[in-house]
């Protein structure tokens, strides 16, 4: 083994969405960082759909951005269609989504990495970790080189023992067109990690020249497009539409006729797939009454004819794929450029992680992204960012960062993973967050900018702009609380419109804004200066005022749960000697090894009585 003569602070293995954020965070925080990837032409590649964001995922991107990550800026620079979802619902679940120019997205991210100070970018396949006395010291590569690093972050995506399935044909691969990573997961198992297997899939890529778009319904984006990043002023890139297509009964018959050659139904695939992202054959089998399924035909870029038909992923044989895609109206002559496939890959049980994403098995080793059983670019990037930050904090000997469930979706996700583990690829949903009203896209900066600034990822200039925004919100909020309008000062038609006829006493502007049918723009009629301030400021004020009661209720719940979250359970706590716990509870606690009482309380089957006993014992220990 040849030892490379440079000592790194942080080594990141894998340059997908998790790896890029991890490497950027580490190097931007001043640590000597090495990013290793199997294929330097596939940095930040979108292996599945060419889009960023979506319900609950948009929230993750805004949080990454607020903390000083790159994903939001990268999609703003390379997005070709922006759209805000759930606009007809409430403010907490509105979510941003954008189609990306897939090649531009990857190239821009690579450029950012290449020009980042303190960061080396190299192509190599890591086959083993260099571990001594339970602590990681570096990585060994297939090329026989050992790189030394004080911390290592594994972001292996779908590459470990990746196996691609198209019908009954299967072959090793990390992604279509890429080699898999062989040996690393076996090595992790030897180190004491529980390695499991998951499955995911992607649809075919279609030749746009052979699609009759005149027979599909066009779906334009929002105009003007609204950016993800708090730092982006506006989107200049030209925008393109998506299209809507539908399967039909004939498509479903074709699919059913190929089920005997489906690796899923033939039992060849052992990995567990995501229920929220089922293959088309899954949908047809499980919902036989549905006579059609919708698909968005998404452009893969501005300069390519490749299109991604969402919702139509499959692992059926290629001849079935040809017939099935061609059964869709508008696609009668469609040519498949890349076939749809399923992929199985190894992941590591995330229960073996601390909430900092450091493993409990090997010190200074962090895991992020699909290796932890998640799916999705945004989920991966969020973990990568946290792992990157924490690797640096470890190197600097500082306390590691744990985002609370009341602070960020990233916190909810990591806590879910490390507390409960996952048996299928984990995707973020807003329903997973018990404090959903607090975790909005619009206030991600108010939740996380300060943390990003403290760790050194948010530059002074950007932080200054944020502080100014906060001050403006406070100032305007105070003003509308103080400004009282007498009924005599309101126009009669205004009073009629908002059901205020007969009003006796003066009302403050914030009282008016609290009414369900009054928005901040309506207040301009009473006080024209309101129109002069930034709309983003007023949106914040309106949400805070309108949903105050509900937000306060959630804040109360947070205060209560904080107590349990604050009680730490020492590493290696011996549950066997704890009197009063049932065997079942004791075994569960020993298995999950929670870091805090809060985590313990979220393990299924752990009763409040067990938590009481545990808290007494902890108290007794500390007073001893």
Partner 1 sequence: MYIADTIAAISTPLGEGGIGILRISGPDARRIAERIFLRTNSGGLLSHRFYYGEIVDPASLSPLDEGLMVFMRAPRSFTREDVVELHCHGGYLLVQQILALILNQGARLAAPGEFTRRAFLNGRIDLLQAESVIDVIRGKTDAALALAQHQREGRLSRLIAEARQHLVHVLALLEAYVDFPEDEIGGFHREQLDSRCSAAQLIIAQLLGSYDEGRVLRDGVSVLIAGKPNAGKSSLLNTLLREKRAIVTAIPGTTRDMIQEVVNIGGLPVTLIDTAGVRETGDEVEQEGVRRTMEAIPRADLVLFLVDGSRPYDSDDELICTALTGRRFLLVKNKSDLTEMMELPTGLSEVSPLVISTKTGAGIEHLKEAVCREFLHGRAVDSREFVALSRARHRDALVKCQSALVQFGESLAAGLPPEIVAVDLREALSALGEVTGETTPDEVLDLVFSQFCVGK
Q: Which residues bind partner 1 (CB under 8 A)?
A: 49, 55-56, 85-86, 89-93, 274-278, 283, 286-287, 290, 293-294, 296, 310-311, 429-432, 434, 436-437, 516, 547, 550, 553-554, 560, 563, 567, 579-581, 604, 607-609, 612-613, 615-617, 619-620, 623-624
Q: What is the DSSP string of 219-256?
A: E---SSPPPSSTT-----SPP--EEEEE--HHHHHHHH
Please say which residue, 4 or 498, places its beta carbon nearer to partner 1: 498
Report in angstroms how near the CB of residue 504 gets to partner 1 at its nearest.
Answer: 23
Which helix or strand (DSSP H or E) is residue 621 part of? helix 608-623
Structure-token pair, residue 434: 């018990």
Please say which residue, 7 or 294, places its beta carbon nearer to partner 1: 294
Report in angstroms how near the CB of residue 619 gets to partner 1 at its nearest.
Answer: 6
> What sign results for the dihedral spanned by CA atoms 50, 201, 343, 428?
positive
**Best CA proximity match to 300, nearest among 112, 78, 101, 590:** 101
Report in angstroms how near the CB of residue 475 gets to partner 1 at its nearest.
Answer: 27
Q: What is the DSSP string of 389-457?
A: HHHHHHHTTPPPP---TTT-HHHHHHHHHHHH--SS-B---GGG-TTTTTS-STTHHHHHHHHHHHHT-
Report in angstroms how near the CB of residue 547 gets to partner 1 at its nearest.
Answer: 6
Please say which residue, 118 or 283, places its beta carbon nearer to partner 1: 283
Please say which residue, 468 or 609, places its beta carbon nearer to partner 1: 609
- Token pair 């020009």 in the structure block, residue: 115
Report in angstroms how near the CB of residue 500 gets to partner 1 at its nearest.
Answer: 17
Report in angstroms how near the CB of residue 131 gets to partner 1 at its nearest.
Answer: 34
Using CA atoms, how far apart are residues 591 and 593, in angstroms rounded to an integer?
Answer: 6
**Best CA proximity match to 143, nearest among 128, 153, 131, 133:** 128
Report in angstroms how near the CB of residue 216 gets to partner 1 at its nearest.
Answer: 15
| Prior bond of 435 cis (ω within 30°) | no
Using CA atoms, how far apart are residues 102 and 292, in angstroms rounded to an integer?
Answer: 29
Please say which residue, 489 or 620, places its beta carbon nearer to partner 1: 620
Please say which residue, 150 or 602, places its beta carbon nearer to partner 1: 602
- Token pair 């139904």 in the structure block, residue: 265
* Three-state secondary-structure class, residue 126: strand
Q: Which residues of 128-149 are buried (b: 16+ CB within 10 A; e: fewer)?
A: bbbbeeeebbbbbbbeeeebbb
Report in angstroms how near the CB of residue 136 gets to partner 1 at its nearest.
Answer: 33
Please say which residue, 234 or 560, places its beta carbon nearer to partner 1: 560
Report in angstroms how near the CB of residue 531 gets to partner 1 at its nearest.
Answer: 25
Using CA atoms, how far apart are residues 181 and 189, in angstroms rounded to an integer?
Answer: 14
Task: Tell how strand 507-508 and strand 205-207 pair up.
Answer: unpaired
Please say which residue, 158 or 422, places its beta carbon nearer to partner 1: 422
Residue 223: Cβ-neighbour burial (10 angstroms; 0-12, 13-18, 19+): exposed
Please say which residue, 89 or 591, places its beta carbon nearer to partner 1: 89
Please say which residue, 535 or 616, places its beta carbon nearer to partner 1: 616
Report in angstroms how near the CB of residue 305 gets to partner 1 at its nearest.
Answer: 21
């Amino acid at each position: 083994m040849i030892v490379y003569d440079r000592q790194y602070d942080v080594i990141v293995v894998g340059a997908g969405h998790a790896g890029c954020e991890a490497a950027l965070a580490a190097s931007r925080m001043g640590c000597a960082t090495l990013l290793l990837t199997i294929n330097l032409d596939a940095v930040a590649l979108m292996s599945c759909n060419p889009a960023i964001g979506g319900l609950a995922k948009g929230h993750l991107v805004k949080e990454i951005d607020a903390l000083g990550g790159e994903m939001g800026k990268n999609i703003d620079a390379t997005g070709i269609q922006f759209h805000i979802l759930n606009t007809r619902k409430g403010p907490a679940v509105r979510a941003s989504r954008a189609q990306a120019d897939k090649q531009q997205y990857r190239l821009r991210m690579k450029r950012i990495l290449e020009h980042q100070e303190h960061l080396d970018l190299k192509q190599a396949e890591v086959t083993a970790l260099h571990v001594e006395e339970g602590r990681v010291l570096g990585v060994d590569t297939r090329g026989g080189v050992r790189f030394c690093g004080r911390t290592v972050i594994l972001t292996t995506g779908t590459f470990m023992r990746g196996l691609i399935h198209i019908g009954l044909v299967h072959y090793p691969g990390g992604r279509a067109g890429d080699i898999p990573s062989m040996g690393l997961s076996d090595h992790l198992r030897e180190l004491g990690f529980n390695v499991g297997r998951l499955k995911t899939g992607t649809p075919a890529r279609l030749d746009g020249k052979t699609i009759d778009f005149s027979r599909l319904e066009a779906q334009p984006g929002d105009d003007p497009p609204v950016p993800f990043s708090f730092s982006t002023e506006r989107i200049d890139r030209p925008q393109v539409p998506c299209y809507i297509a539908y399967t039909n009964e004939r498509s479903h018959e074709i699919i059913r006729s190929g089920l005997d050659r489906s690796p899923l139904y033939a039992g060849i695939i052992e990995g567990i797939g995501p229920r929220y992202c089922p293959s088309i054959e899954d949908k047809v089998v499980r919902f036989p009454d549905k006579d059609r399924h919708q698909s968005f035909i998404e452009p893969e870029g501005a300069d390519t004819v490749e299109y991604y038909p969402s919702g139509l992923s499959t692992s059926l044989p290629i001849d079935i794929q040809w017939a099935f895609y061609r059964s869709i109206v508008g696609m009668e002559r469609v040519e498949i450029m890349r076939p749809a496939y399923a992929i199985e890959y190894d992941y590591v049980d995330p229960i073996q992680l601390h909430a900092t994403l450091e493993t409990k098995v090997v010190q200074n080793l962090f895991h992020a992204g699909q290796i932890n059983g998640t799916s999705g670019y945004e989920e991966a990037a969020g973990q990568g960012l946290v792992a990157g930050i924490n690797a640096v904090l470890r190197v600097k000997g500082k306390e590691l960062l744990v985002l609370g469930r009341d602070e960020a979706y990233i916190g909810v996700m990591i806590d879910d993973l490390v507390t409960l583990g996952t048996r299928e690829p984990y995707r973020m949903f807003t329903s997973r967050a018990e404090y959903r009203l607090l975790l909005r896209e619009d206030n991600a900066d108010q939740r996380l900018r300060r943390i990003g600034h403290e760790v050194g990822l948010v530059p002074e200039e950007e932080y200054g702009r944020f502080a100014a925004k906060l001050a403006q919100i406070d100032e305007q909020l105070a003003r509308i609380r103080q400004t009282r309008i007498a009924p005599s000062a309101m126009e009669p038609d205004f009073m009629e419109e908002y059901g205020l006829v007969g009003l006796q006493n003066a009302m403050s502007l914030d009282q008016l804004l609290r009414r369900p049918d009054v928005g901040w723009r309506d207040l301009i009629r009473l006080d024209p200066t309101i129109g002069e301030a930034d709309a983003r400021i007023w949106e914040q004020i309106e949400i805070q005022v309108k949903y105050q009661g509900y937000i306060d209720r959630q804040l109360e719940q947070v205060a209560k749960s904080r107590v349990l979250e604050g009680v730490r359970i020492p590493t290696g706590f011996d549950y066997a000697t704890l009197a009063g716990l049932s065997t079942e509870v004791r075994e569960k606690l020993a298995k999950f090894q929670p870091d805090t009482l809060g985590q313990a309380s979220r393990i299924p089957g752990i009763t409040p009585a067990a938590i009481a006993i545990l808290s007494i014992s902890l108290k007794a220990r500390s007073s001893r």
